[in-house]
A and B are shown apart, each in its own frame.
Chain A
Amino acid sequence: MTDNRERTMRLRAGSRLLRLLASLMWILLVVWVAVSVTFVLSRIVPADPARLAAGLDAGPEQVAEVRAEMGLDQPLAAQYGRYLGDLITGDLGRSLQTRQPVIDDLLTALPASLELILASYLIYAVIGILAGIAWAYWPRGPHTLLLRFGAVIGVAVPVFWVGLVLQVVFAGKLQWFPVAGNFDFEGTGVPKVTGMGLVDTALTGQLPLIGEALRTLALPVVTLVVTHLAVTMTLMRSSLEEQLKRPYVRTARARGVKERRIVFVDALRNSLNPVVTMLGLQLGWSLGGVVIVEVIFSWPGFGLYAYQAFSAFDYNAIMAITLLSTVVFVTVNALVGMIYPMLDPRLKEAR
């Protein structure tokens, strides 16, 4: 009996390791496919990177020189091989625009985006879930009108419009918040630890500086929250409502279990599955999702960098941006996949 049990445990531990390896392989495969497709596309596009790199007034010889320097005169297969080789050593090439290694550009831009993403994500995930629960728990009353209105607005109104309106009203007319840009470290004496304004000012513990960081964050974060909140909220509500109609809820009521316990202990867990899926997808998309907001608010993050790279056909940067977005998306999805078994015990055993 115990022998059997131990063997099962060992088998289970072994299969868990295998599963982890399998999902890692899967991530690598998807990333490789994405990188290859982007590579091919960037070489098919009629624009000539060498021409762009050499500058408009460069002569044909100079362009040819630049082309040879960039390795663009070699056959496509060779270029592809070299690109993959560089990638493995962490070399993403140089940006045509900034003349800096793309990896350095990205490392400078990422903290700003991360700050924006994390701040807005935490807010809309938490508020969305809570509002959805409240809506399902109290399905009648004046508050539902407000929630319904918010849900429609949030889904219907485009990001750029919300951003621009907020900018015009609260930064332009009222001047409560800065029009653009993130927290400016210069002259404040705040040491750059993470590169995220709010975190670094919080580390100094000086309230006026923290306030300043919050002021710069406010409008872009509100824009992202307004446009993402509705989906989480409505999904949470409908999913919980659906669970509250299940027979097991009636059983619990028949046993005299308190309504609050039924909602939070019985039904909530079962209703989280679609919400987790949605939140996972949103987090996976977040790097792409901040592009518009960063452009509107001139927020010097990944999105703005991507926008500029695409506009200028900065193909090394474009390749790196694609790579990073893919890695983030696939990794987040794989991580989300690990949450499901915690929500549903049947999955834990079936796998």
Chain B
Amino acid sequence: MSPILSVRGLTVCYPNADQPAVDGVGFDLEPGATIAVVGESGSGKSTVALALSRLLNPAVSIRADALTFEGRDLLGLRREALRRLRARRIAMIFQSPFGSWNPSRTIGAQLVDGLRAAGLWPDRRERLLELLKRVGIDDPERRLGDYPHRFSGGMLQRAMIAGALVTEPSLLVADEPTSALDATVQAEILEILDELRKEQNLALMLISHDLGVVARVAQHTLVLYRGQVVESGPTAALYRHAGHPYTQGLLAAVPRLEGPRKTPLPAMPQGTATRGGCVFASRCPRAEDLCRTSAPSPRHLNGTDVACHFAEDVRREPIWRW
């Protein structure tokens, strides 16, 4: 199957920044598949998401060797074509449920705006109500007349999902869709997302800092550190034999119910990364001179692609246990 989204060498630079926020990221996403992008705050995950639908400020420079979606070059799209693409083919969900809704307009008015932009109003009215019910909003017809402050965060996020999927897009980019919600609501939302993904043969790109969330739904995972992919591969393989110290650190930092609390990663150092070396070198306990002078390129190893000079050693003797 040919990928629906193909990214090669995606590099994003904010104006006046001394290093790119996203540096040479590449991946493929197949129709109906789920890919997770993980990393700490500031790793560039959200920037990747926003770059895909070109929602970054025009002053931000986006470059890529290839950025194709359904066979079209995303970077070459003109304004109107881009707008239509956002309206029909690529949907997005954002982290902050309250901030993502206009406080002075009803939920219904805002969802209808989206349908109108897609040219699907009023044809999809029934479908919208149906979807709202599906995601767990009772009496949707009445609730559509409510203002966002009458909804809880979880409810807003559910309505957001319904609004994103009613146009039957082929790609849904979910940027930390559950981070602002309680654990119980989180699980429910993820389940709904996964169900709808299967039903609509939707490709899902899930951005998260929470590996627990990722493990539940994503077949493929990309680990981002300082804008670079340090490790990527099938989620199961990544969990079993993480070959990058950073991946191991992230896995070790996931809170668990049983057992003692695991050591967190050492804090992200200030300032710029050592130029020419491995991006993780300044934080890596295993780092040697080689790491500081030469950047490792990704190598295929036991199911994942790892960008570490000592991936074999690290895998044999994990730096952090998880």
Contacts and interface: CB of A to CB of B under 8 A. Distances in A.
Given A247-B94, A266-B105, A257 B117 contact: yes
A255 B117 contact: yes
Contacts of B99: 246-248
7 contacts: A252-B110, A255-B114, A256-B114, A257-B113, A270-B103, A345-B104, A345-B147
Contacts of B85: 256
Nearest to B103: A346
Interface string B51-91: 00101000000000000000000000000000111111001
B84 A270 contact: no
A250 interface: yes
A254 interface: yes
A16 to B, nearest CB: 19
Interface in A228-257: 246-248, 250-257
Interface in B96-133: 96, 99-105, 110, 113-114, 116-118
A258 interface: yes
Contact-residue bracket for chain B:
20 to 34
Contacts of B101: 248, 251
Given A257-B114, A258-B83, A346-B147, A252 B94 contact: no
B117 A256 contact: yes
Contacts of A257: 87, 113-114, 116-117
A255 B163 contact: yes
Nearest to A251: B100
A82 interface: no
B92 interface: yes
Contacts of B86: 253-256
Contacts, number: 75
Given A251-B160, A257-B117, A266-B102, 19 more contacts: A247-B96, A248-B102, A250-B55, A252-B114, A253-B55, A254-B94, A255-B117, A255-B164, A256-B84, A256-B85, A256-B87, A256-B88, A256-B114, A256-B117, A256-B118, A257-B87, A265-B105, A343-B104, A345-B103
Contact-residue bracket for chain A:
20 to 34
A86 interface: no
A104 interface: no
Interface in A249-296: 250-258, 261, 265-266, 269-270
Contacts of A269: 104-105
Nearest to A342: B104
Contacts of A65: none
Contacts of A250: 55, 94, 100
B299 interface: no
A247 B114 CA distance: 15
A253 B163 CA distance: 13
Considering residues A248, A254, A261, which has the most beta carbons from chain B within 10 angstroms of its beta carbon?
A254
Interface of B: 53, 55, 83-88, 91-92, 94, 96, 99-105, 110, 113-114, 116-118, 147, 149, 160, 163-164
Contacts of A73: none
Contacts of A258: 83, 117
Interface of A: 246-248, 250-258, 261, 265-266, 269-270, 343-346
Q: Across chains A and B, which 8 residue pairs bring their CB atoms closest together, nearest first? A: A256-B87, A255-B114, A247-B99, A256-B117, A256-B86, A254-B92, A248-B102, A251-B100
Given A253-B86, A256-B87, A343-B104, A261 B94 contact: no
A42 B116 CA distance: 65
A154 to B, nearest CB: 29
Considering residues A251, A261, A345, A346, which has the most beta carbons from chain B within 10 angstroms of its beta carbon?
A251
Given A252-B110, A254-B92, A255-B87, A247 B55 contact: no
Nearest to B95: A247
A266 B101 CA distance: 10
A292 B226 CA distance: 61
Considering residues B53, B102, B160, which has the most beta carbons from chain A within 10 angstroms of its beta carbon?
B102
Considering residues A256, A270, A343, A344, which has the most beta carbons from chain B within 10 angstroms of its beta carbon?
A256
Contacts of A265: 105, 113
A144 to B, nearest CB: 16
B103 A251 contact: no
Contacts of A345: 103-104, 147, 149
Contacts of A255: 86-87, 91, 113-114, 117, 163-164
